[in-house]
Amino acid sequence: MMKKLFTIMICLVSFSALQAQTKVGTINNEYILSQMPEIKQVEKDLTAYGEELDASIKQKYDDYREMLEKYNNERESLTKIIRLAREKKIRTAEADLQKLQENSSKLLQIKQDELLRPLYQKIAVALEAIVKEEGFTQVFNENQSLIYISPEYDLTIKVMKRIGLEISEEDQQAIGN
């Protein structure tokens, strides 16, 4: 009797597991981003910020170079105490310049993330609505080493339509929808 009950329970659990199928989709976030009109402003803002950082580095470098040149020209006439103080100031300026150069790429990355966040949020909201409407249980980003998925599960075009982007026939065929 217990054995039959146990067998029935296993059958019921197996049947339930078969009922709870997964539905997997894909999305190409980078492609959607490239088609969003807002990306042009993001690129302009990022370029402007990069130019500001470059100008700041150039100014620091010019100040450093001027300080070094002045020191070299006056070095022989300086007292030991003044010479040591200027050498310390030059080393500090050199270290500051190096830090600014190292941090500029990090600052640029932070700015890029800040500017792209609203665009990714817009994509996420549209994707979440589609996932709920169509019952997807998993969605993979195509740029993350996905080997193959049937084009019918690619949500890229649906998300683009949801956020109001125009999609050419050529793009629809290229994506596979």
pTM: 0.67
Q: Are 93 and 63 in contact (CB under 8 A)?
A: yes
> Of the candidates 47, 45, 32, 56, which has an alpha carbon nearest to the alpha carbon of residue 175?
32
pLDDT in tens, 41-75: 999 999 999 999 999 999 999 999 999 999 999 98
Tokens of 65: 């170079």
CATH architecture of 21-175: 2-Layer Sandwich (3.30)
CB 127 within 8 A of CB 159: yes
Beta bridge partners of 18: none
pLDDT of residue 14: 44
Domain ranges of the chain: 21-175
Task: In whole angstroms, give the CA distance from residue 151 to residue 145.
Answer: 16
Amino acid at 11: C
> Rounded to whole angstroms, how far apart are CA atoms 112 and 89?
34
